[in-house]
Every structure is written in structure tokens, then in C-alpha cells.
Structure 1
């Protein structure tokens, strides 16, 4: 079933960290005739951290993944906007400010490189930054960074149309999966409540990748079949 997919987004986390042996990953990609892109790590990481040391370490981790992505031939790297404190309230706007600083640093780093960064909108969880189009816009303001439009995430926050209205041509990557509007379930496309036909109509000029995010390969294959029917 894995042969159904010609493009893979590698989640560079834990044992799948691509910079641990980028040349080996590059060989696997080349030998199997695959196209790939990269999702930067999201655990042990926060580019909006209150701590200068942790924030700088998170930037270094992200940059290491960008460099490895270029080495393996990936053209897109998806990055999360960061987190506000889960323990201390009232820090979200301060975290947004730090996230903006980090995004500008990343934007400067990739300038002139053959790779695009796509900053992803987040689901309805109070410690995630970038849940709303307004806040994600604040975070990427003043940069040339792209946006990864996660349809499932946007459905949990009621932000599907807001994300499309706000970012339009800035959307360079799409994550697609289904849910019932309350939490980030990563269901097979069509098993939840999302009106994907509406999204596809609104994204009519989009020419980037559709990344199916599923809990199993079987679910991904079924989602692919349903997505292809919707796009045809």
C-alpha cells in the first residue's frame, strides 16, 4: 500500500530525526524514487519559549532539520509556531512576540536557499500558538515565510474560511485529515464532519501538495482514494 504515495512528509522526531544521518535518508529517497518534504520536530522544542536558552536551542534544532532537509532534496519544511506556558497564565502575547522573533530569524536563515518554510496553524488547545488566522498572521508578519494550512486543525477552531481568506496564495502546503470539530482526531477523510468539497472549491488555485495525516497506512490509502475523487 505504501506504493500508493509518491510524496512523503517525514516527521523528523525522535528516531526519525533526519539530521542524525541525512545521507542515509537521502539514499533511501533516491533509491526508491520518492519525493519528500519534512515536518520539523514538535517535542522537546519551543521557538516561543520564555527561556532564552530553550528558545535558542529550539531554533538551532529547527535549523539543523532545515539543513538536513536540503541535503535530502526536500523543498518544503513544515514548522509549528511554538507554545505559550502550560503552567503560568497571561504569557500568550509575550510568547507570540518571541515566536515572531524566531520566525524572522528563520526567514533570514533560509533566504536564498532552495527550500520553503511552511508555518502551520494549530488545533483548539490553549497552549498552542497560531490557533487563529489573526494570531498566525501576527507571527509570520514581516517575513516571506509560507503557511501550512492544516484543515483538521482549522476545523477544531472554526477557522477554515478565515485561514483561506487570510493567507490565500501564501499557503504552500496542506495537511488534510478529518474530525468532528471538537478535537484533533486525524480521522480518515470522510469519516468526520469536515466539508472538504467546500475547502477544495475555496482552494481552487492551489497547486501545492496535499499531505494526508493518518493514524494508519490503511486509513491513508482510503483517504487518498476519497481525496482523488474530490479533486477529479
Structure 2
């Protein structure tokens, strides 16, 4: 059992109060998700962060946050909007530094439309424009992340191409950019748009994968069900994870936090994780 991978979880600070034994008992990886809202980032976010730190006293597991994402496309071509996006992510990194978090989840800019249309332009020009816009938006952010020891992990949202976020992360040539996979998002793309299955996303990310959101789904929508309630093939997911040496954070991201302990029990009973 101790050799099985150790599961972590994503939650708001208000949820953490009831999950301290679970998180601190084995120093599990944790992702705090309060700081996705612009209103909080522009307001008294330190009071929330102080409460987080108080609840995590003595925690030695890896800590991360989910960065802001509502309406924020890191490939936005409008320079005025890019400035707002850049500022939001710099605010997220300020939170990371204050908390001592070493990872921040950001969202992929790629859509299903992109998959069908980026090749509809000569000489990969559309691909290059997306990368150029991402670098204009995130260049300062990446430099700041490097200086405080934070890695930003790019999470698949609509991504049908399992390679495209790895290519984006690699284009920065920085330890501050890596890859994240959300199992439910990948399963949605597989079931609804004809993308590869979840384990293919993991294998194609390879050791650039440093974070994974574990949630179950039905291949139709972004369910965030507890593990075992959907149709993801978990044995193959964990077989593919076992091939990696990057030690990605295995973060249960469930809509109902009451499903965290049952999810751990389910995967433990299968002999896949603890």
C-alpha cells in the first residue's frame, strides 16, 4: 500500500477546515481554488490566504493554487485585453509567493474550433500566431514565476490534440511552464469530439506532465463526479501514470467534496492509489 501513489485534492479554504486530517495526516498534495475570482484578487485576498496558512500549519506536502481563468485567454490577440490577462496571472503568482505555493494551474487557449481550423492557413501561420500571442501575454508572468520558484501547468479544456499544450509549454523553454491534464476534460473530448482516450493524453504529455486533475465523467460533459461514477478506464490511467518519472501531483477535483474520501477508497480498493 505505501508504494501506491498518494492522492491529493483540490478545494476551497472553507472546505479545508473539514479535511485537515485527510490532508495533513499524510501531507497530501493540495490545490487551493479560492483565488480564481477577480473580485477576490482585487480585494482582501490576504485574509483568505492567512486562513489557508493557519489551517495548513505543519503541512509539508506540495501546495498549489488554481489560477484565475474566467474570461482569460492567454492567446488573446487584443493587446489591451492581454494586459488584463497578464495582470491577473501576476496577481495569482503574488498569492503563490505569499502562501508558499509552488504550482499554479492555468487554462489552455486551444479550442475544438482550433483543432479543425488552424491547419486551414498556409505554413502553420495560425499555430505560430497562437504561440506568439501566448508569449506576449505570458512572457512577464513566466519570468516572475521563475524568480519565485513556481511552475505553471497548462490544463486541457477543449483540447482535442493531446500534444498541443506540451508544444506550447516547451516553446517557453522554461522550468516555469509544464503540462496539466484534467481527466474529465480529456474524456469529454474523447466522447464528444473524437479525441484520444485519457491515457493517450498522459502518454503524449510524458514527463512534461506535472499535475493532473482526477475526476470521473461520462464523455459528454464536464461532470467532476467522484471516481467510479463515470466511464473513465482508471486502470489504464494509472498504468500510464506509472510510466512517468515526473511525479505529477494527483489532485482529486470533485464537484462534491464529500466524494473525496469515497474516491480515495475506490482507487485504494482497486490497488491503484491511496
Q: Normalised by the size of structure 1, how large is the TM-score?
A: 0.82
2:40 counterpart residue number:
17
Q: Give the CA deviation at 1:148.
A: 1.2
Deviations 1:170-214 (A, max 9, x none): 111110000111221111110111011211111114533221111
Structure 2 residue runs of 5 or longer lacking an equivalent are 1-17, 119-125, 191-195
Q: Give the CA deviation at 1:117.
A: 1.0
Is the partner of 1:173 in helix, strand or coil? strand
Q: Distance in 1 between matches of 2:39 and 2:230?
A: 29
Aligned length: 224
Query: Which structure would you say has the larger Rg?
Result: 2
Answer whether contact 1:150 1:175 (CA < 8 A) is retained.
yes
Q: Distance in 2 between matches of 1:10 and 1:131?
A: 27
Q: Report the aligned-residue RMSD.
A: 2.8
Q: Distance in 2 between matches of 1:22 and 1:103?
A: 22
Which is bigger in relative contact order (C-alpha 8 A, separation at least 6)? 2
Q: Where do 1:104-123 residues align within 5 Å?
A: 104-123=139-158
1:146 counterpart residue number:
178
Q: Where do 1:101-180 residues align within 5 Å?
A: 101-123=136-158, 130-143=159-172, 144=174, 145-158=177-190, 159=196, 160-180=198-218
Q: Normalised by the size of structure 2, how large is the TM-score?
A: 0.71
Q: Give the CA deviation at 1:141.
A: 2.9
